[in-house]
Amino acid sequence: MDITKYKFTREHEWICLESNNVGKVGLTYYAQSHLGDIVFLDLPEPGGKVEQFGKLGEVESVKAVSDVLSPASGVIMESNQAAIDEPGLVNKDPYGDGWLVKLKLDNLAELDALMNKSDYDEFMRQCEESSEQE
Amino acid sequence: MKVLKETPFNKWHHDLHARMGDFAGWELPMWYTSILEEHRTVRNAAGMFDVSDMGRVWVTGNKAGAFLSGVLTKNAEQLRVGSAQLSLTCLEDGGILDDLLIYRLDIDEYLIVWNAGNAEQKLNWLAHWLEPNMEVAIEDKTHDTTMLAIQGPDVCQMETLKELRRLPRFGVTKTRIQGLSAYVARTGYTGEDGFEIIADVPTGLSLWQLFIENGVMPCGLGARDILRLEAGMFLYGQDIDTSTNPFEAGLGWLVDLEHDDFVGKSALLEIRHNGISRKLVGFQMKGRGIARSGYPIISSGQEVGRVTSGGYSPTLNANIGLGYVPIDISSIGTNFEIVVRDRPVLAEVVGKRFYKKGG
């Protein structure tokens, strides 16, 4: 797991390419820590199509339901059964065992619209500041 | 900008980096570390909740009992000194204005502990029924006192509280805990053994420190909400409110229609006579999905009710909830569906006490 290779959305999802055009998708550490204990995942079946920034699935913490948006367009290859069975994996290891789906990407160029690690760190810092000012 | 009320513990909640939220106009901790961990602590060890938002109203005078019997659904005069009981206050039409605990501290001294919501309206409503010649004083001390709930199987094992083990369930006493003077009641809202402790502000702050030193873990409202739901306890404003009556909520046992006239009695007599058309039931999800407050309940394709409380139960490792449904689909074992964001998910009626201590 080399997090510098991950790309990030403004909605706190990540994607990491595993091969030419297949990427793993998950939630960031920031996302899971703000949701709190995750107790339910609703993820699409393999074969389902998603659009970039379209709804991929839902994640529920004890208190709230959130949509998971897809970092890229493509076809679902697999959803993480271990995380469906034990949603707490997303809290414990959001960048590793707590991944959500594997996606076959339609268009690699879409990833250029995402943030790299250092951009995301800066973005996250701004998120923290604005939430403290609330 | 909405300014939230703060309890005397507010700074400490922030110091502990609690995730704070708005509960009935009060800024209170939703969780400190993890809702699931705090839930587990209360079920298996000892947890502490700041419940200083709850209204604490002293009603005193030699006619205090008679006055309270006229506004509550149970006879307050029959309550023994040193005891507490659950009770309701209803509107003239029988709708539930609040559920509360009434403590008889002395012959002429009662304490009402009710929910934080609509505090001012409820006080005005109470005063409205007071007759000038009654010589009964109503005094809201919510802002002059603190209230802590310490709950869990280890609470009574604490050396500091060993004197209090003799206090019966629903008993209340004025006592000293390591020299700190407080009212202590063997009550709670979690389904576990424990105490609720009311004290003046400096004493309350000292008690918090004392319990922390004794290994009691601060817990937030997130855990409290699951604990009470598992124990089949209702949340006012969700499961019961002025549009629900005690009989359909399954709270008929809190209504004593034998005692003298009280507000709502004639309406409640009529409701009992005519029978109810819907009932608050417990349900467990059979399909995948978490029911949450407000989700529609459907039967034979028709919406028949709404979920009032729902969530994931760590104790049962199941998704559970409460909701009002027509009488004909309210018996245990009946199936209906809950619409979880456009998707109907099967649920089955089960007993409302999802969790009962010791089995």
The interface pTM score, or ipTM, of the predicted complex is 0.84
Q: Which two tokens stand for residue B3?
A: 């300014």
Q: Is the pLDDT of residue A134 over 80?
A: no
Name the domain boundary from B205, B230, B255.
B230
The set of residues, in sequence order, having a beta carbon less than 8 Å from that of A2 and lying 6+ positions away, is: none
Name the domain boundary from B173, B207, B230.
B230
Q: What is the pLDDT of residue B359?
A: 62
Q: pTM score > 0.90 for this model?
A: yes
* CA atoms of A34 and A12, how far apart (whole Å): 10
Closest CA to B143 of B101, B198, B102: B198
Q: What is the pLDDT of residue B1?
A: 61
Q: Is the pLDDT of residue A128 over 90?
A: no
Low-confidence ranges of chain B (pLDDT < 70): 1, 359
Q: Looking at the domain assignment, is residue B258 inside a domain?
A: no
Residues B70 and B136 in one domain: yes
Interface of A with B (CB under 8 A): 36-37, 39-40, 42, 58, 60-63, 65, 88
B31 touches chain A (CB under 8 A): yes
- CATH value of A3-133 in 2.40.10.120, 3.40.30.10, 2.40.50.100, 3.40.1160.10: 2.40.50.100
Domain CATH for B129? 3.30.70.1400
Note the pLDDT tens digit of each residue in A4-23. Answer: 899 999 999 999 999 889 99
Query: Across the interface, do B19 and A58 touch by the CB < 8 Å criterion?
Result: no
Assess contact for B200 and B144: CB atoms under 8 A.
yes
Interface of B with A in 306-345 (CB under 8 A): 311-312, 319, 341
Query: Across the interface, do B31 and A36 touch by the CB < 8 Å criterion?
Result: yes
Q: Looking at the domain assignment, is residue B110 inside a domain?
A: yes
The set of residues, in sequence order, having a beta carbon less than 8 Å from that of A45 and lying 6+ positions away, is: A76, A79
Assess contact for A52 and A72: CB atoms under 8 A.
yes
Query: Across the interface, do A65 and B289 touch by the CB < 8 Å criterion?
Result: no
Note the pLDDT tens digit of each residue in A52-97. Answer: 999 999 999 998 899 999 999 999 999 999 999 999 999 999 999 9
pLDDT class of A133 with cuts at 50, 70, 90: low
Q: Which of B35, B339, B343 to mutate to probe the A interface, most A CBs <10 Å?
A: B35
Torsion, CA B96, CA B98, CA B103, CA B105, rounded to 10: -120
Residues of A in Cβ contact (< 8 Å) with B219 = none
DSSP output for B196-240:
EEEEEHHHHHHHHHHHHHTTPEE--HHHHHHHHHHTT---BTTTB
Residues B154 and B223 in one domain: yes
Q: What is the pLDDT of residue B358?
A: 75
Domain CATH for B198? 3.30.1360.120
Q: Is the pLDDT of residue A2 over 90?
A: no
> In terms of CA atoms, which chain A residue is nearest residue B226?
A62
Q: Which domain holds residue B339?
A: 277-350
CB atoms within 10 A of CB B166: 9
Query: Across the interface, do A36 and B312 touch by the CB < 8 Å criterion?
Result: no
Phi-psi category of residue B161: left, alpha or beta, with phi > 0 → left and psi -120 to 50 → alpha: alpha
Query: Across the interface, do A40 and B290 touch by the CB < 8 Å criterion?
Result: yes
Residues B303 and B330 in one domain: yes
